[in-house]
Amino acid sequence: MNIFNFGFTSIKEEVNTVDFLAITAIQVFIPELYDQLQKNRGLFVSENVRFPYTINNLGLNDEKTKYEEIIKMIPKNLTNEIIKILRRMFPKIIYIENENSFHYSDSSINEWLLKKNICHPDKFDTYFKLRLTSGDISNKEIYMIINTSSEFNVLLDKIRKLNETKKLSYFMSYLYADIDEIDIDKLKIILKVFLTIGDEFINVDRIFFVLTIAIIRRIKDKDELLNLLVEIFKNNCTGFQICCELIYFFLAEHKQDSTITVDLRILKEDNIEDLKSSISESMKKSAENKSLLENPNLHNLLYNWKVWGNENDYDTFISEILSDDALIIKFVTQFSHTVQSFGATDVVGKTTYDLKYNSLNDLVDVNEFVERIHFIIDSDKFEALGKREKESLNLFLKNKENKLGRNYSSNH
């Protein structure tokens, strides 16, 4: 799962996708720059594209000085590329750098609005809203939650309650805004809670992942951070997906084409292997009591476990599934999802099912399932199954019979 997907669905109608990805990347990788962009709206946005300043250019020199101070926050090895991105996102920068080169027409501002660009004055603030809507939560309530964050179970219950009452996004926004002022020991407990139950609200808002990274960056001692993450990962029971997302984030910093310098990388590459082993061990425990089968991200988790974990542990889990009809049904059903479709004359959409057969095929030997699934379908227990379970088993066989392994939906 790409980290830029967090929260995008909820605001995609309000923003330009390219600008959204760019500002989110800055927020994650250069948070100091992101903060300055947000605080200096007037520096980057102009109401009048022909005359960004008054005729006698009052304030231009001050704006140039401020702009140069902000640019210094960019890591030297990224400066040229980030400036190019900023120029595209905020055309006014071209004028700040060279007042004679500003060449946009009167229609530019209308075009920016049409394209929902961040540089339009009516759109700028939208990109810096870490949520579109928020529940009401008082400062007193926020302070109380933070002050009780030294007690893991108490904080865990409070975070769940915030999520249930639609106040979690506001709380996370507050944490992000004041993260440098919060006691580091309290942040460690908050991080532990987030990584333990994060899968319950992983898609609530993009601020969740960004905030998690910000908390991690507050822990400067890399050995201390590694020990904390290993402890959390090993003892995790539900937050597998968010932990895997973090591992992919850390790995991305070490790619050959990565522009993140060694000193800015959160963990050493060898340390990431420790995290892979830790989360694999945790998934093994969940597989042993079969709670892993309840996870809605099962196919992603199994892929990671298969690649990162012990091969024998993974094979044992699959063998146990094959030995129990109820587990086979649950396993295959987890790879199906509903699809809404509308015909030309339909007033109410039709609900059908798709099966992620190719994902299944990557994770198990589907041939081992065929005979058992035929047996289940031909048995009396099949009629007692729900619609989704029945469709999932039938779709499995239809896909298996298709030589190309192409996905079939249940309306075929």
Stated pTM of the model: 0.66
Mean pLDDT of 221-249: 91
pLDDT above 70: percentage of residues in the chain: 83
**Band of residue 344 on the pLDDT scale cut at 50, 70, 90:** low
pLDDT of residue 10: 52
- Domain presence at residue 134: no
Tell me which of 309, 339, 372 is where a domain ends: 309
- Domain presence at residue 318: no
Q: Check whether residue 155 and residue 294 sit in a common domain.
A: yes
Q: Check whether residue 169 and residue 292 sit in a common domain.
A: yes
Q: Check whether residue 98 and residue 145 sit in a common domain.
A: no
Tell me which of 243, 277, 309 is where a domain ends: 309
268, pLDDT greater than 50? yes
pLDDT above 90: percentage of residues in the chain: 46
99, pLDDT greater than 70? no
pLDDT of residue 202: 64
Tell me which of 72, 92, 127 is where a domain ends: 127
Greater pLDDT, 56 or 278? 278
- State pLDDT tens for residues 243-265: 999 999 999 999 877 777 888 89
What tokens were used for 165? 């009452």
pLDDT of residue 58: 42
Mean pLDDT of 294-320: 94
Q: Check whether residue 291 and residue 143 sit in a common domain.
A: yes
pLDDT of residue 390: 95
pLDDT of residue 227: 96
- Domain presence at residue 133: no
How big is the chain, counted in residues?
Answer: 412
pLDDT of residue 279: 96
Give the whole-angstrom CA distance, residue 187 versus residue 331.
37
Q: Check whether residue 209 and residue 261 sit in a common domain.
A: yes
**Band of residue 299 on the pLDDT scale cut at 50, 70, 90:** very high
Q: Check whether residue 123 and residue 195 sit in a common domain.
A: no
Structural domain including 393 reads 324-401
**Distances in Å between the alpha carbon of 328 and those of 297, 313, 321, 347, 355?**
17, 18, 6, 36, 14
- State pLDDT tens for residues 112-137: 888 889 988 888 888 886 543 445 56
pLDDT of residue 197: 87
- Domain presence at residue 68: yes
Q: Check whether residue 103 and residue 181 sit in a common domain.
A: no
- Domain presence at residue 363: yes
302, pLDDT greater than 90? yes
**Band of residue 267 on the pLDDT scale cut at 50, 70, 90:** very high
Q: Check whether residue 172 and residue 277 sit in a common domain.
A: yes
87, pLDDT greater than 50? yes
Highest mean pLDDT out of 155-164, 193-202, 267-276, 394-403: 267-276
pLDDT of residue 59: 65
- Domain presence at residue 408: no
Q: Check whether residue 74 and residue 170 sit in a common domain.
A: no
Q: Check whether residue 113 and residue 148 sit in a common domain.
A: no
Q: Check whether residue 121 and residue 143 sit in a common domain.
A: no
pLDDT of residue 206: 65
**Band of residue 387 on the pLDDT scale cut at 50, 70, 90:** very high
Q: Check whether residue 195 and residue 73 sit in a common domain.
A: no
Domain count, the chain: 3
